[in-house]
Amino acid sequence: MNDINLFLAKLTYTSAKLTILPEIILILGLVAVVVIDLLSKGKNTFLLYKISMVTLLASAVILLWQWGFFTAYERSHARDFGNIFRFFLLICSLLSISSSVDYILCSKMSLAEFLLFKLAAGLGGMVLSCANDLVTIYVSLEFLALSSCFLSGYTKRDMRSNEATMKFLLMSGASSSLLLYGFSLLYGLSGGQLQLDKIVDGIIFNRYGSIIYLSAAFTTAGTAFKLSLFPFHQWTPDVYEGSPTPVVAFFSVTSKVAALALFTRLFGLIFPYFSNEWHVAVGLLATFSMILGNLIAVTQRSVKRMLAFSSISQIGYIMIGVLSADSGNGYASMITYTFIYILMNLGTFACITLFGLRTGTDNIRDYAGLYMKDPVLTFSLVLCLLSLGGMPPLSGFFGKLYLFWHGWKAGLYSLVLVALVTSVISIYYYLKIIKLMFTGKSGRSDTPLNSRQNSLVSLSISISKNSLEIAMIICALASTLSGIFIDPIIEITRNTFF
């Protein structure tokens, strides 16, 4: 009996010590999905779905448990930061898988590969957000990019999807090469170090100033491609328009969150010595992304394109949080807003997926009179959109408020002013859709609802249809109510300065 207790205690300690256990579970789940698909010859789709959900949940639970286990003993800010982002990525994967199963089944594509790529992308993002050396960063970044690329080309009969894949592949290749060039300079200058903290020790900053600037510039360009900041954003609208909607939902949050973690870590750890310079540069990029993203979004006709531009501007807001970090609050405002952004964006995309599934379009004018047809969908979409725009009682407002207040305190006056003005513009185009949904004459009222359903798959749909709606409602509620619980979130995220 004593032995068993001892063994259990030992096992507990080892598994808590093994910080990559959540990733290992994800790998196991990923392999299991492939193996079971091969064994059952692609028939047992519901089991695959269940396996991936259970894997993600188990991974999240273990991550939280390890986190709690460690905070009891020692506190490391970098680890807190990584853990928060890993948890975010798990939430993204969980919600987006549950909201995309339906779409995949309806368009009669095989689910196993889709789940594999989603799990793989989530895994890549998780490793990326806690990676501490250049090799791991590069491998996991490629992992994320490759999986996202396959996801965006998943509907291969669609020409637009093929175009989106091609653009995404070329752009991510180009950005990776830029990033790699910056890394190679860092590696050389530090005398052959790969660990991030050792690189900082190895580099003699005032001696090799100009070349470190060059390295920082290349790294910024590489990560800005992933984040789709202003001059590197051209791929975003095309890729978003072409890819299948649930995939867009996935990589509008996952790749952004992972790239954000990478950006913050790289610049927080390696380049703190000339923070003034890169603060100015990134501030400029953020300003332009906010202005251009919001202005171009007004003119868009497709909802997906509009959301693409809106996501460009949202990254601009989040960058304020990165720039305004200080040792007192850490990246609290950035992380809080990122969390709310994940929920709002996933909620919006879940609504659009449901709408697109029922009518087959994503034109803005087809949303006219949606209120008459499906009030639940309309209300969720309204809540998410208003939250994205930052209307007062919803959580997007609190997130933005905290972010802007933080930025103001850090002295980023012009950035915050631009952000305020552009949020007003963004509210305009969000409200345009909402107005259309409530007052618009539904011109295509004869559009048959559930037109793309097929009797052959209707059984599995009736199970998974719920999952899409549940994900949608969860996101809508969370993006409404998490403003009330913003205090504990801020409290958790406070200790994240490196």
Partner 1 sequence: MFLSHQYDSFWIFLLVCISIPLLAFSITRFAAPPREGPEKSTSYESGIEPKGDTWIRFQIRYYMFALVFTVFDVETVFLYPWATSFEELGLFAFVEVIVFIFILIVGLVYAWRKGALEWC
Partner 2 sequence: MNISELIHDFVLALVELGILLGSLGAVLLVNTVNSAFSLGLVFTCISLLYFVLNADFVAAAQLLVYVGAINVLTVFAVMITDEPAGSETTARGIGYIITAGTCTILFSILSFVIHNTKWSDLSLIPQSGISTSGTLGSNVQQLGYKLLGEFVIPFELLSILLLAALVGAINLARNEDAFIVNKKSAASAPYKNSTFF
Interface with partner 1 (CB under 8 A): 27, 31, 34-35, 38, 41
Find which of partner 2, partner 1, none residue 207 binds, CB within 5 to 8 Å per kind. partner 2
Burial code (b: 16+ CB inside 10 Å, e: under 16) for 436-468 equals bbeebebeeeeeeeeeebeeebeebbeebbebb
CB nearer to partner 1: give 37 or 241: 37
Angle at CA 434, nearest 5°, toward 228 and 246? 45
Task: Please report whether residue 156 would count as binding partner 2 according to CB under 8 A.
Answer: yes
Shortest Å, Cβ 74 to partner 2: 21
Report the C-alpha gap between 49 and 374 in whole angstroms. 27
Q: How many CB atoms lie within 10 A of CB 57?
A: 13
Q: Is 115 in the site for partner 2 (CB under 8 A)?
A: no
Q: Rounded to a whole number, what is the distance in angstroms from the first to the last CA of the chain?
A: 44
**Is 232 an interacting residue with respect to partner 2 (CB under 8 A)?**
no
User: Site for partner 2 (CB under 8 A): which residue of 2, 206, 210, 276?
Assistant: 210
For residue 128, the minimal CB distance to partner 1 (Å) is: 19
Q: Of 178, 300, 164, 271, which Cα lies nearest the Cα of 231?
A: 178
What's the CA gap between 475 and 467, in Å, rounded?
12
Is 278 an interacting residue with respect to partner 2 (CB under 8 A)?
A: no
Contact range with partner 2 by CB under 8 A, out of 55-63, 115-123, 382-390, 411-419: 115-123
The reply to whether 301 sits near partner 2 by the rule CB under 8 A is: no
Regarding 192 and contact with partner 2 (CB under 8 A), the answer is yes
Q: How far is the CB of 51 from partner 1 (least distance, A)?
A: 15
Element (H, E) at 412: none
Minimum distance, C-beta of residue 41 to partner 1, in the bound complex (Å): 8
Quick one: which segment of 60-68, 209-217, 343-351, 423-431 binds partner 2 (CB under 8 A)? 209-217
DSSP secondary structure, 262-321, as one string: HHHHHHHHT--TTHHHHHHHHHHHHHHHHHHHHHHHHT--BHHHHHHHHHHHHHHHHHHH
The one-letter amino acid code at 259 reads A
Residue 56 in the binding site for partner 2 (CB under 8 A):
no
According to CB under 8 A, which one of 117, 250, 267, 397 is a site residue for partner 2?
117
Q: Which two tokens stand for residue 77?
A: 């800010």
Residue 96 and residue 346 in contact, taking contact as beta carbons nearer than 8 Å = yes
* 35 vs 421, beta carbon nearer partner 1: 35
281 part of the interface to partner 2, by CB under 8 A: no
Q: Point out which span in 134-142, 389-397, 444-452, 488-496 binds partner 2 (CB under 8 A).
A: 134-142
